[in-house]
Structure 1
Amino acid sequence: WATLHAILHNPVVAAKMIATLDHISGGRAGLNIVAGAYRGEFEQMGAWDEKLDHDARYDLTEEWTGIVKRLWTEERVDFHGRYFTIKDCVSQPKPLRRPDLICAGMSARGFDFSVRETDICFIGGRDEAETRAASLKAKDLAAKLNKSIKTYAMCTVIYGGSDAAAEATAQKYRDGLDEGAVLGMLESYGASFAGRDNAMVARAKGAFMTHTVIGAPRTCAQKIATLLADCALDGLMLIFADYAEGIAVMGREILPLLKARA
């Protein structure tokens, strides 16, 4: 998956970049679409437009996404919209298959965009019940639009030689929590997160900003399967403290157990 920001990346360039990546990866490319809310990041590059409010950024992103999709399938594209104009545009190569699109819009407008325009809605919640509700809401809206949607969420995996060892590691992370740093990071994501009783802040105060699976490999496999089922999810983005080691453990010890359950 590659992440591109609609207010920063030209849609024609974006379409060509992802199509090229799709060829390099043998048809495995995916695109994470971000409307852009991190004012501090964009302002330093002169890319923040004060005239675009939250919903307008999604209106722009909708045009952007439509252009990208057309450039992946059509030989020549003309488009005259409110935010973009392209004339007799040719983009080669075409992707080997239409890359999967994902978006994590959390607002009402963002959620609607994610379901309408992408293949995967990236969701979250304070707990499993909230995440399940968001997943079912996305799937219900998709059904009304006569389409299907997958839902993914984030999950931090903390593994150890035993359940007790894994829990000890998790507690070490909790004890080392720097709440000010975490809330500062959330503030940089758009300021509206900081100090509010939302899912990200609630989880951050517990040291983890995602669903968490803690235990020995067998326990982790069981908890991952349960999380997928209980939250009506189609997939998870896994987070590890050490990705090189974590991915190896996942592939060697946890994934085979999950495949055996399928």
Structure 2
Amino acid sequence: MANAIQWLRSLVFVVVIYAWMAILGILFFPYALLTKRGALSACKLYARSVIWMAGWMVGIKGEVRGIVPKDEVMIAAKHQSFFDILLIFNAIPHGKFIMKRELLWTPVIGLYAKRLGCIPVDRGRKGTAIAKMVKDVATEFSEPGQLVIYPQGTRVAPGAKKPYKVGSAILYDGLGMPCVPVAANVGVFWPRTGIMRKPGRAVVEFLDPIAPGVPRSDFMAQLEQAIESQSNLLMKEAGFDPS
């Protein structure tokens, strides 16, 4: 019975947050077209709203740990569900995400992502996609912000294994900026697919930055070790054994 009630609460929550996305998208549309600050304000409001609603509607309490970067950095994060995007975006001053190109054609999300300076990537054309990504990132960094990339390239369920992709290292080399790894356990409570949301404390944790200039192979090893080891600890803290 308790599971059925939680599923119904989750269904209502999902309907509400996507309806709210459409409402905010329409209300802020003129402001977003006129200025990028308008798009940023709308997206910040949406992120804060959903984080708040998740707490009282389905019992998911969002928490951000570690030192949140305020300067221009590259952020490489564990990606388990939509909720880690919201927690990270809400925490940093001006997040720009590496995103799959198909999202540009999504109503509301596509327009606002473009106005924020997010970088679309065609995941089906790896060599060309990486070269274009580097070029686009250089263009977008004419304006300040924090670039967020998901080094595994997609959402990964808790306990699942997926390799880290070299695009993160290529960006790290090209930007010459510190890279801040981010661990997460949010997928334990808000899964990558499905309706059910489980109550608990969903955490994203900003870890110690990797300084510029680390050789590519060493950087990839450090990045994966930092993110995976701390994400596993956060998942165990949440009562999930990733092994």
Structure with bigger RCO (C-alpha 8 Å, 6+ apart): 2
Give the number of the structure whose alpha-carbon radius of gyration is greater: 1
TM-score normalised by structure 2 residue count:
0.30
TM-score normalised by structure 1 residue count:
0.28
